[in-house]
Structure 1
């Protein structure tokens, strides 16, 4: 059958230096091939039968190719249509459907929209220069005297803002013609939104930055709009109204998520920007493994080091000097805890304790008591669930595992 063309799924070919990233956009299956291997695959994807492609490869590169092994690899990657010839595929292939919301994506990232975003940021900067109380402060989180209202107001108030962040990623992908999807999930009892950037590796590297950075850009615009709303809704005396105080509280949560992106020891938006700019395929795992190995060697325990050959030479080379950026991310996290999270927690506890001192006959007592229970729950329960998840299987009772959902 080597004289019959092989039927392939629609493949993308993106040059990355001396290598080429080849993949299926519909399944997000990718492989990094040397230039000659990608050229051979391209010839076959264009309809050249394997035996003719092998002769072309030998005449072009002066070497023979093991076509059996090459085709086996392509089958394992899912690039080949099973049980079809190229002629059959040509008549049976389905045309790609219309991409929803692409018009909105183009409008959201148009030059006019960018001008509007910059104008919003400039307006907030001017307002913050005139009124220093617009600058984010931990005390802005407490927009009312009731800690329970603060807890649930912040919890549910920031959900649409997180949705906007992830929707920006999705729209940036749709703008490039990718079928990026936005979904909702949970981490324990926390609601989270997730964006799947399907097909991002099928576009040029220079076009991948906007999908990664669009979420942070959205945060800047939302933060500025909330600050302007607080400034425009002041009372006649110049104080913030309830709407303004809520806006500033939500703006502080937006700022915390923006700073969180600088924790480069995690796979944050900025991490993917770094990995893309440095042309690395698994910079996170390579750099953290190299950093741990270095620490184990300094401690005199080289046996605990992992095998570094499982990553590409380029990832290892970049990972050796990317380690300090991981430590920088840890410092950013510690700095934010000291300057942001700790002051909020201290003020929260102080207000709760003041309520408890009022006695059971006052509403402040019960507000403080429930607030402290909620605080302990938010802090302790996720850690406990994470510990249970990581427990060795042998410590768990044997038997079927049943899962129920809320209908």
Structure 2
């Protein structure tokens, strides 16, 4: 009854809210009524699934290329991208909790059908680009650890559907637990590698300071956009606004305010953790490759090969491969859930998760297999970076609607985002659009 009252009070939507997002897990995790740490703990989880998308194999390729070619200079882009991500994911939490809609449903319920259809196509393209990075990254991880040829590794990635099926039978909390466990392994691997690399920490700190060289240098701008696209990913906005609704909290206005606050804390903390991982990849590349005199290394396999002689330890390349494989597996989980949310939200079509996953993965496997067969690891590395730039170009089509919805008090009621938040998000959106236009201009003019 309370949800119905809320629905009637939010009159800014063109259509009524239909079935809740990811209905099989919607409200499946109870929030304790007693205040304290247990209440906060109940909201911890969605942020880490979102953070996984900010450190996928595509991010590795762009961070490796950026660190090896330009040293620590692009750390400022990693920091800026992460701050933008924190802001946008906070808006996603607000949209999901306040309106009971994820971003896909909100687009469907607000825009004319042709506009909604175009946004759905763009969202699906973003998920396919993300999946392409996961296919290549996981295949490279299998190759580095077990010697499986890339072409076979690409095909084997389709089997991850069985992992998704098994996880979903256990419950959503188990999905979150696996993701967090794999993130812990990744953090441990990079912590040891950074210790072995022994970077110049003074230069690392200076690398977080902004520089106009990023805009002046087209090559640096291209990699900066790749880092931005790999960090602030379109599918994460759809994902977060859906999975934040897995919590069964108090539906009153005060209860929703508290849910927004706790969900925002969850995503902010998790994304700061993601920043440490992303910065570690770039620092490792800058210290081992750029300052080691190797030059640009965008190829994950080549990076793995060079770590042993440069760092003087046979453990370093193994840790690199383990972390890469964990990243690929983690990204598989989140891409599946976001793909499910996008299709159900935009089209109200429910597909079995395994079928949805096989369709998306098949679309990604074809170009990945073709490129790896034709060009090998170097072609796969270039394809990884290109996929991240494509994500950056598609990002405004998810960010702008998100800002529009959360700023509208007719849609959000008394839980519309504060003005300062909307102003900062609008500046971030304008920056993303301006950088994309600058890159396209550089490409056209050569």
Q: Give the TM-score of the pair, scaled to structure 1.
A: 0.29
Structure of greater relative contact order (alpha carbons < 8 Å, 6+ residues apart) = 2
